[in-house]
Amino acid sequence: MDEVVAQHRLHPLVRSHLHAISPYVPGRPIADVMREFGLHHVVKLASNENPLGPSMLAVQAGQQAMLEVNRYPDGAAKDLREAIAKHMSLSEDYVIVSNGSDEMIKMIAETFLDHGDEIVLPFPSFAHYTFGANVMDAKITYVPLHDDLTYDLDAMLRAISDKTKIVYLCTPNNPTGSWLQHQEIEAFLHQLPDHVLLVLDEAYCEYVTTPDPIRSEKWIAEGKPLLSLRTFSKIYGLAGLRLGYTLGHPALLAYLHKVREPFNANAVAQKTAIAALFDQEHVIRVRDYNEEERQRYYAFFEEHKLRYYPSQGNFILLDVGDGRKIFDQLQRKGIITRAGFPGLERCVRISIGTREENALCREALLAVLHK
């Protein structure tokens, strides 16, 4: 009864539009699935993690940094920003770091959106874009993808109104895996109204193997109204350290710094990321491995006449008819995938794991789809 009374009293204190917001639900932890189904071995292919792990140079740098965690980190992350800027052929004032891309998405909303402003999103895409807009009580306009889950850029341009502040594009797109080419984005930028900011989420850009990959740092150096979101969670294998960075014109980043929490990038993450950037041989090794295993999945899907969507990420979207049902059946066999994406109810998303994990996943898929 006390809890009910407390909720009743607190309810009017909360901004009214927050009552409609549902917290983000990540992929299920391995321990939860083991407990629920009494399993001793579970494979997690749900969160697009790097199965090969981080560079050993990064691990060693992180271990060394642990010896000094009694000290606060550099709040400006100067050394890390310098390392990123050198890697991207920019100056450090074009770089801002964050506690993963999730924090940056919220910071962007806090910086640019007021009540009644609008954002334009592709649908389906990464669910967290809606979170920041909802927190700021902004309006969200969704633009459906084509039937093959590729972008409809013309429709996105038509959806922009006088109240639109931000357009989000995720490439490769999570959870569909579809991607855009450099020339497509360049043409889109030329048609974007002056009052609109393009936020380009490139969390999976290092996995791309197409002939015309996006080179957003070129547009940023030219002063285009663009922010490029990057992360150390994916190909660098540092998901547990929660570290992302964003490239943008210093005039834009200056406003983001106004809402950035002090010490938002911890000291271990900063030192580890610098070493990870230095080891590009590891990045290439992970990218090549991912491409090899992705092709192995494609061959399996085609052999068994399963419909999949080509991907340039470290995951593949598979049409199984009833995503929630197959997700549950795979869990019972010790394979955690993702399902339930709005607009993709027929599908499960499978992250590319180790060679052994991928083989176990394919074996489980055969069992549940062909029984």
Residue with more model confidence, 6 or 1:
6
> Do 301 and 195 share a domain, yes or no?
no
Q: pLDDT tens digits, residue range 115-173? A: 999 999 999 999 899 998 999 999 999 999 999 999 999 999 999 999 999 999 999 99
* pLDDT value for 33: 75
| Final residue belonging to a domain, choices 248, 278, 308 | 278
Q: Give the CA distances from residue 337 to residues 196, 290, 295, 310, 340, in Å, rounded to whole numbers and listed in that order.
A: 36, 17, 19, 17, 10
> Do 240 and 299 share a domain, yes or no?
no
Q: Is residue 269 pLDDT above 60, yes or no?
A: yes
Q: Is residue 96 pLDDT above 70, yes or no?
A: yes
Classify residue 151: in a domain, yes or no.
yes
| Final residue belonging to a domain, choices 250, 278, 306 | 278
> Do 141 and 203 share a domain, yes or no?
yes
Q: Is residue 77 pLDDT above 90, yes or no?
A: yes
Out of 126-130, 238-242, 271-275, which region has the weakest mean confidence (pLDDT)? Answer: 126-130
> Do 64 and 201 share a domain, yes or no?
yes
> Do 37 and 68 share a domain, yes or no?
no
Classify residue 229: in a domain, yes or no.
yes
Classify residue 13: in a domain, yes or no.
no
Name the pairing type of β-strands 139-144 and 118-123: parallel
H-only helix segments in 123-261: 128-135, 153-159, 182-191, 216-221, 250-259
> Do 113 and 158 share a domain, yes or no?
yes
> Do 112 and 173 share a domain, yes or no?
yes
> Do 175 and 112 share a domain, yes or no?
yes
Q: What count of residues does the chain have? A: 371
CB atoms within 10 A of CB 361: 24
Classify residue 14: in a domain, yes or no.
no
The conformation of residue 93, written as its DSSP 8-state character, comes to: G
Residue 204: band (very low, low, confident or very high) from pLDDT cuts 50, 70, 90: very high
Residue 4: band (very low, low, confident or very high) from pLDDT cuts 50, 70, 90: low
Classify residue 9: in a domain, yes or no.
no
> Do 119 and 227 share a domain, yes or no?
yes
* pLDDT value for 1: 44
> Do 272 and 290 share a domain, yes or no?
no
Domain of 363: which CATH number? 3.90.1150.10
Domain of 112: which CATH number? 3.40.640.10
How many domains does the chain contain in total? 2
What is the chain's mean pLDDT, rounded? 93
d(CA 166, CA 112): 8
pTM of the predicted structure, to 2 decimals: 0.92
Q: Is residue 231 pLDDT above 90, yes or no?
A: yes
Residue 30: band (very low, low, confident or very high) from pLDDT cuts 50, 70, 90: confident
> Do 271 and 285 share a domain, yes or no?
no
Q: What is the residue range of 90's domain? A: 56-278
* pLDDT value for 38: 83
> Do 350 and 254 share a domain, yes or no?
no
